[in-house]
C-alpha cells in the first residue's frame, strides 16, 4: 500500500521534501510533519490533506499512521531521531550529514547493528544525479584507466546566517567526501585544509573560500574548492583525471545562447534547483525500496565514514596541518 511518511524538520529541505512526496513521488504520502517551531509545522501540515503537525519527533513516530521517517532537522538533531526510529523499527531517509561527528555516528552504527538489519538510507543525493551517475559508470568501465586525481568545485551563492568553518566541512564538503568514496570505491585516509586570505564578502567568523585535500587508500589525490559566498550562483563540478583521459561534469551547459555579440548560459542559484531531479530520484528510490521491504543507497556505514573524515577535516582546519582519518573495521552488516 501507500507508504505514510513522517517528515521531521520542516525548514528549507524538509518543506521541499513534503512537497515532493505529496506531488512528485509515487506510492507515498506525508501523514505527519514535525518541527520544534509549532507554527512552521502547522503551516506546512496545512498544505497536505490528512497531515498532522507535531512538535515532538517521538510522538509522531509512535503514531499509528506513520510507516517511515524522513529526517530533515539540523545535523545535531539526527542522532536522537534515528535512535527513536530504531525503537519503532521504522525505515528512515536521513538527510546528510548522518550526524556531525564520528562518536555520534558510531553510536548510530552500533544501534542499527543491534536491530540486526539496515534501516537507514543517508541523503547523499549526488549519487542520484544524472551527471554523477554517468561519471561513476565511466570510471567503473575502466575505459580511462585508473583515476589518479579528482578536482572538485563546490560553490554556493551565499551561506545561511550562523554558518561556521566547521559547517563548511560538516554540511558542505561532506558531499565531496561521499562522492569521493563512492566514485573511487576507496576510503579517505587523510585530510589537509588550506585557506587563502578570505574574500571581503565572507561573513564575520567564516574563512571563505577554503581548499581541502583528501588522500585515499588507493593512492588518489582529491582537491575541493569550497566557496560558500561566491555571490554568482550554485555550482558543483567534478573532474576525474585518469591514466588515459579525463572526464568532467557540472558545467551546466544544458543550453548555450548566442545573442548580441555574446554567448552564454544561466547558472543555478541554489541546490534545490541544481539537484531537483537528484532529490526526486533519491526519494523515489527510498520509497520503492521501502515498499519492497529493502534498504538501498548510502548506508549508515557511509554516513559514519564521512563523519570520521569530517572530524579529521575540522581538526585539520583548526590545527593547520594534515590529519589522518581513523575508521573502525567495516562491520559485517555493511559488507
Ligand atoms: P533549516 O534550518 O532550513 O530547517 C531545519 C528545521 O528543523 C527548522 O524548521 C527547525 O525549526 C527544525 N528543527 C530543529 N531542531 C529540530 C528537532 N530536534 N526536531 C524537529 N525539528 C527541528 O535547515 P535545512 O537547510 O532544511 O537543513 C536540514 C537538513 O537537511 C540538514 O541535515 C542539512 O544538512 C540537510 N540539507 C541537505 C541538503 C542537500 O543538498 N542534500 C541541502 C540543504 C540541507
Ligand atoms: C547544504 O547543507 C547542502 O547540503 C548543499 O548541498 C551544499 O551545497 C551547501 O553548501 C550546504 O550548506
CA distances from 250 to 16, 239, 264 (A): 23, 9, 15
The region that residue 179 occupies, defined by phi over 0 for left and psi between -120 and 50 for alpha, beta otherwise, is alpha
pLDDT at 143 over 90: yes
Would you list the DSSP string of 166-205?
HHIIIIIIHHHHHHHHHHHT--EEEEEEE-PSPPTTSPTT
Q: Are 30 and 5 in contact (CB under 8 A)?
A: yes
Rounded to 10 deg, the angle between the 174-184 and 300-319 helix axes is 120
How far, in Å, CA of 237 to CA of 226, rounded?
Answer: 11
- Calculate how far, in angstroms, residue 292's C-alpha sits from the geometric centre of ligand 2: 30
Same domain, 22 and 65: yes
- Calculate how far, in angstroms, residue 317's C-alpha sits from the geometric centre of ligand 1: 24
| Domain carrying residue 133 | 129-273+306-334
CA distances from 130 to 125, 143, 276, 281, 295 (A): 11, 19, 11, 10, 21
190-208 tens-digit pLDDT? 999 999 999 999 999 999 9
Same domain, 266 and 287: no
Could you tell me the sign of the dihedral formed by the alpha carbons of 32, 38, 41, 42, in that order?
A: positive
> Confidence class of residue 219 from pLDDT cuts 50, 70 and 90?
very high
Same domain, 323 and 178: yes
Q: Does residue 10's CB lie within 6 angstroms of at least one atom of ligand 2?
A: no
Q: What angle do CA 87, 299, 269 make, to 5 degrees?
A: 110
Residue 331, pLDDT score: 98
SS3 assignment, position 71:
strand
How far, in Å, CA of 156 to CA of 222, rounded?
Answer: 20
Same domain, 249 and 155: yes
Same domain, 164 and 96: no
Same domain, 45 and 118: yes
Same domain, 282 and 316: no
Domain count, the chain: 2
Q: Does residue 40's CB lie within 6 angstroms of at least one atom of ligand 1?
A: yes
Q: Does residue 73's CB lie within 6 angstroms of at least one atom of ligand 2?
A: no
Counting from 1 in the atom list of ligand 2, the atom nearest the Cα of 167 is: 12
Nearest ligand (C-alpha, residue 71): 1
Q: Does residue 11's CB lie within 6 angstroms of at least one atom of ligand 1?
A: yes
Q: Does residue 228's CB lie within 6 angstroms of at least one atom of ligand 2?
A: yes
pLDDT at 283 over 90: yes
CATH number at residue 204: 3.30.360.10
CATH number at residue 36: 3.40.50.720
Same domain, 62 and 208: no
The answer, yes or no, to whether ipTM is higher than 0.90 is yes
Same domain, 122 and 133: no
31-61 tens-digit pLDDT? 999 999 999 999 999 999 999 999 999 999 9
Nearest ligand (C-alpha, residue 12): 1
How far, in Å, CA of 90 to CA of 85, rounded?
Answer: 5
293-316 tens-digit pLDDT? 999 999 999 999 999 999 999 999
How far, in Å, CA of 34 to CA of 59, rounded?
Answer: 9
Residue 106, pLDDT score: 98
Same domain, 215 and 170: yes
Contacts of 102 (CB under 8 A, 6+ apart): 304, 307, 308, 310, 311, 326
Reference 178, options 223, 229, 141, 125; nearest CA is: 125
> Confidence class of residue 254 from pLDDT cuts 50, 70 and 90?
confident
Residue 127, pLDDT score: 98
Residues linked to residue 190 through DSSP beta bridges, in sequence order: 215, 324
Same domain, 108 and 244: no
Mutate which of 8, 33, 73 to test ligand 1's pocket (most atoms within 8 Å of Cβ)? 73
How far, in Å, CA of 80 to CA of 121, rounded?
Answer: 16
- How many Cα atoms sit within 13 Å of 140 on the Cβ side? 9
Mutate which of 11, 72, 122, 156 to test ligand 2's pocket (most atoms within 8 Å of Cβ)? 156
- In the block, which residue shows the cell 582519518? 325
Direct distance between the N- and C-terminal alpha carbons of the chain, in angstroms, rounded to an integer: 31
Contacts of 136 (CB under 8 A, 6+ apart): 127, 182, 183
Same domain, 246 and 167: yes
Radius of gyration, alpha carbons of the chain: 20
Quick one: average pLDDT of 117-128? 98
Residue 253, pLDDT score: 84
Amino acid at each position: 500500500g501507500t507508504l505514510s511518511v513522517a517528515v521531521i524538520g520542516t525548514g528549507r529541505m524538509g518543506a521541499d521534501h513534503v512537497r515532493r512526496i505529496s506531488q512528485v513521488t509515487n506510492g507515498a504520502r506525508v501523514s505527519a510533519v514535525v518541527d520544534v517551531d509549532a507554527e512552521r509545522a502547522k503551516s506546512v501540515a496545512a498544505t497536505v490533506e490528512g497531515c498532522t503537525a507535531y512538535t515532538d519527533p517521538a510522538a509522531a513516530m509512535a503514531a499509528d499512521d506513520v510507516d517511515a521517517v524522513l529526517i530533515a532537522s539540523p545535523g545535531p538533531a539526527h542522532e536522537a531521531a534515528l535512535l527513536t526510529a530504531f525503537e519503532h523499527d521504522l525505515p528512515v531517509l536521513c538527510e546528510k550529514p548522518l550526524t556531525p561527528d564520528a562518536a555520534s555516528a558510531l553510536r548510530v552504527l552500533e544501534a542499527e547493528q543491534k536491530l540486526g538489519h539496515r534501516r537507514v538510507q543517508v541523503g547523499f543525493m549526488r549519487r542520484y544525479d544524472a551527471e554523477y551517475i554517468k561519471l561513476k559508470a565511466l570510471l567503473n568501465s575502466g575505459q580511462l584507466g585508473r583515476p589518479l586525481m579528482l578536482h572538485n568545485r563546490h560553490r554556493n551563492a551565499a551561506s545561511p546566517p550562523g554558518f561556521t568553518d566547521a559547517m563548511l566541512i560538516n554540511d558542505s564538503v561532506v558531499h565531496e567526501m561521499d562522492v569521493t568514496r563512492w566514485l573511487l570505491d576507496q576510503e579517505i585516509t587523510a585530510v589537509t585544509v588550506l585557506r587563502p586570505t578570505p574574500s571581503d564578502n565572507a561573513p564575520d567568523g567564516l574563512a571563505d573560500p577554503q581548499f581541502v585535500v583528501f588522500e585515499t587508500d588507493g593512492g588518489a589525490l582529491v582537491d575541493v574548492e569550497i566557496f560558500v559566498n561566491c555571490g554568482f550562483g550554485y555550482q558543483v563540478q567534478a573532474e576525474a583525471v585518469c591514466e588515459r583521459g579525463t572526464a568532467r561534469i557540472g558545467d551546466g551547459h544544458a543550453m548555450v545562447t548566442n545573442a548580441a555579440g555574446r554567448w552564454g548560459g544561466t547558472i543555478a542559484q541554489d541546490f534545490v534547483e541544481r539537484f531537483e531531479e537528484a532529490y526526486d530520484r533519491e526519494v523515489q528510490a527510498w520509497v520503492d525500496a521501502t515498499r519492497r521491504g529493502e534498504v538501498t543507497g548510502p548506508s549508515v556505514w557511509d554516513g559514519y565514514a564521512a563523519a570520521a573524515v569530517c572530524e579529521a577535516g575540522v581538526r585539520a582546519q583548526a590545527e593547520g596541518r594534515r590529519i589522518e582519518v581513523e575508521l573502525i573495521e567495516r562491520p559485517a552488516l555493511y559488507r
